[in-house]
Structure 1
Amino acid sequence: MTQALPGGKHIDVVLFDFGGVLAEEGWKQGFRVIAEANGLDGDELIQAATDTVYATGYILGTGSEGSFWNALREKTGIRGEDACLMQEIVSRFLPRAWMFELVKRLRKEGLTVGILSDQTDILDKLNERFDFFPLFDHVFNSYHVGKGKRDISLFDDIALVLRTKPDRILFIDDDSGHVERARRKGWKAVQYVDRETFLADMERVLPVRDLTGNVRNRAT
């Protein structure tokens, strides 16, 4: 089933980012804790970690977790064993129950739903714990796809895999750059800022009857 949008347009597929949308943003939260423990600026460490996870190829599945942590230690001077540092990150990716209720509702309405995330094998580890992959028709993770959302051609690739016209795909992400690149490729896109704004945006762009009413008041 497609869902009508204002102006006679339709949506067939809804894709969600993981960290910062479907779950709390464990990457940033975890690195702020690591920064504090090492006497570093949180924003600067987050940026260094994000640059390093790309530079080492870890986020694209071409580099290892160990190479990432070693490179980040050399770059920033952080201390700690790999497993302890990673636990600070993974433990903070807490799924938002109300978001998964929304995913279930969309799928029940007949839309195709998926994850489109720039993640390492962290996403696989989280699925082993929370078992959320079965809720989705597709899981596109940069670690397995070999391409991230910084590369605008990814959005063409995903549309081809989905066999869906770009303007029939709705994408939700908390990163403004990812949202902008999706829009440049013809996708519909919503930037997640906070819960209430997001639910209002969803009511506007995907007017399914009572789509958000059953999740608006649920506990996070």
Structure 2
Amino acid sequence: MSSCTPKAALFDFGGVIADEGFRNGLYEIARTNGLDEEGFAAKTRDIIHRTGYITGTGSEAFFWETLRGETGIRGSDDELRNTILKGFNLRGWMLEVIGLLKSQGVRLAILSDQTNWLDELQDRLGFFEHFERVFNSYHIGKTKLEKSLFLDVLDVMQLPPRDVLFVDDTEGHVRRAAEVGLVTIHYRGREDFLKRLSKLCPGLSRDLGRLY
């Protein structure tokens, strides 16, 4: 019998399961090109949505071409991609948390606004095996900016929202998930996350406590 209230948990990838390689990589590209980090990151987020790359309707080549054209950055597609991908380091302690949840029968899935880069990272790091499903915006054609995405995921998993935990480091995504009824944790840091999860899984509080 599970000691956790949620029957399933959806985890964001960058910023939760792994370090935030996208943001950190963009900051590095901005510094290399003498650009404001936050301004460049915001512009890139706009372009990755506007070109359709994040939802699989536009190509990576078109995304980089557009980004270079609108910001003046230098570097080949491969060089720029590698700057971003090298920053996605798996958090070993988070994988331990995921293992603890799995031991309690909690169903696990990734819910990520990502591109084909997530598949490349899987080839390099091999983490899909920890999860029942991987919901990647690049393959499903929707992002977490759309509330209907959460309903689609619930439909696939055949669970009501009250039985599903969603963990993400972006406040807006957490808010939209909560608005459709999911249990949410806004990831702000390791200790805060573990304390919040312990309240949902009291039977794991001792195991989670040693990960602080």
Q: TM > 0.5 between the two?
A: yes
* Equivalent AA in structure 1 for residue 201 of structure 2: L
Structure 1 distance, partners of 2:207, 2:172, is 27
1:116 aligns with 2:111: yes
Structure 2: gaps (5+ residues): none
Per the alignment, residue 209 of structure 2 pairs with 213
Alignment of 1:19-168 (within 5 A): 19-168=14-163
Per the alignment, residue 182 of structure 1 pairs with 177
**Shift of residue 213 of structure 1?**
2.9
Provide the alpha-carbon RMSD of the alignment.
Answer: 1.1
**Shift of residue 204 of structure 1?**
1.8
Cα deviation 1:123-180 (Å, max 9, x = unaligned): 1011101111011111111011111100111011000000000011000000000000
Structure 1 distance, partners of 2:151, 2:159, is 10
**SS of equivalent residue, structure 2 residue 208:** coil
**Shift of residue 3 of structure 1?**
4.2
**SS of equivalent residue, structure 2 residue 10:** strand
**SS of equivalent residue, structure 1 residue 116:** strand
**Shift of residue 214 of structure 1?**
4.3
**Shift of residue 90 of structure 1?**
0.3
* Equivalent AA in structure 2 for residue 84 of structure 1: E
Q: CA contact under 8 A between 1:203 and 1:211: conserved in structure 2?
A: no
Structure 1 distance, partners of 2:147, 2:6, is 21
**Shift of residue 207 of structure 1?**
1.9
Q: CA contact under 8 A between 1:30 and 1:89: conserved in structure 2?
A: yes
* Identical aligned residues as a percent: 44
Q: How many residue pairs were aligned?
A: 211
Q: CA contact under 8 A between 2:109 and 2:131: conserved in structure 1?
A: yes
**Structure 1 residue runs of 4+, over 6 Å off?**
none
Structure 1: gaps (5+ residues): 5-9
Structure 2 distance, partners of 1:77, 1:182, is 36
Structure 1 distance, partners of 2:180, 2:210, is 32
